Amino acid sequence: MTQRTALITGASRGIGAAIAQKLAEEGYRLTLSARREPGLRDTAERLRDQTGAEIHTVAANMAVEDDVRALLASHAAQFGQLDVLVLNAGVGTLGLVADLPTKMFDLAINVNLRAQFILIQEALPLLRKTAASAPDRGAKIIALASITGVASEAQLSAYGASKAALISLCETVTLEESVNGVTASAISPGYVDTDMAQWKHDAVAPSEMLAANDVAELAAAISRLSVNAVVPNIVVSRRGAQIWRA
């Protein structure tokens, strides 16, 4: 096998960019994807300069099914193998169940769950092939879920439901595919100091949130595990007097 490869969605900033940094430092060849080309290009250029990593970029909107399928096809054409698939792209929704427009619910489900399902389906043949060529290591799927998929929070019904379903999807993929050397792990953090959490700054200071690098460290650790080690879900809470909180 040549050096390992990873595909990371939502990779232009925040958690996705932090995971890309970690894997680039470990010698991975990367496909980075995000919705907007300029930010994606800037992140790729920075990582190339810092690490010398080979980086392929694909602009893709996870709400568009053709984009999701084209993303995996582009990675396969570029690298021909896939050791780690990082499902990080997602959208946030905010609103009471009584008031949330169904179009916002649909958006959360489509981007946070349906797109992830399609990308996994498209990736499985390449993941199986890669796992067969590296039987001690296998191939990994790492999905960024949320602690709200484990412990609900008011006004995050659609977001939390989509993430709870994503956690369940990871478990099912492992049950079905671990025989082929492919396992899936969810990481479910509380509030992380990224753009997506800016709306919460009045209640939680950025200095009290998790760092994107905290999540990246866990993703990198999962990528190093043997094929026999299965991590269904890692919940990461913030420090304080209550464990099960975002």
Catalytically annotated residue among 28, 105, 159, 191: 159
Contact 217, 19 (CB under 8 A): no
Half-sphere exposure of 32 (CA within 13 A, CB side): 33
Q: Quick one: angle between helices 14-25 and 212-223, nearest 10?
A: 40
Structure tokens at 137: 């290591």
Q: What pLDDT, on the 0 to 100 scale, is given for residue 196? A: 84
Residue 244: the pLDDT is 83
Using the predicted structure, report yes or no on whether residue 6 has a pLDDT greater than 50.
yes
Percent of the chain residues topping a pLDDT of 70: 100
For the domain made up of 5-237, the CATH class stated in words is alpha beta
- Is 185 a residue whose pLDDT tops 50? yes
The answer to whether 159 is a known catalytic residue is: yes
Q: Tens digits of per-residue pLDDT, 125-170?
A: 999 999 999 999 999 999 999 999 999 999 999 999 999 999 999 9
pLDDT, one tens digit per residue, over 30-52 is 999 999 988 999 999 999 999 99
1, pLDDT greater than 70? no
Burial 83-100 (b: 16+ CB within 10 A, else e): bbbbbbbbbbbeeeeeeb
Residue 164 has what pLDDT?
Answer: 98
- Give me the helix-helix angle, 115-133 and 157-177, nearest 10°: 30
Which pLDDT value is given to residue 183? 98
**Which residue type does 71 have?**
L
Looking at residue 241, its pLDDT comes to 85
pLDDT value at 2 more than 80: no
Q: What is the DSSP string of 28-75?
A: -EEEEEES-HHHHHHHHHHHHHHH---EEEEE--TTSHHHHHHHHHHH
Dump pLDDT digits (tens) for 192-214.
998 888 888 988 999 999 999 99
pTM: 0.95
Higher pLDDT, 55 or 2: 55
Domain spans in the chain, listed from the N-terminal domain onward: 5-237
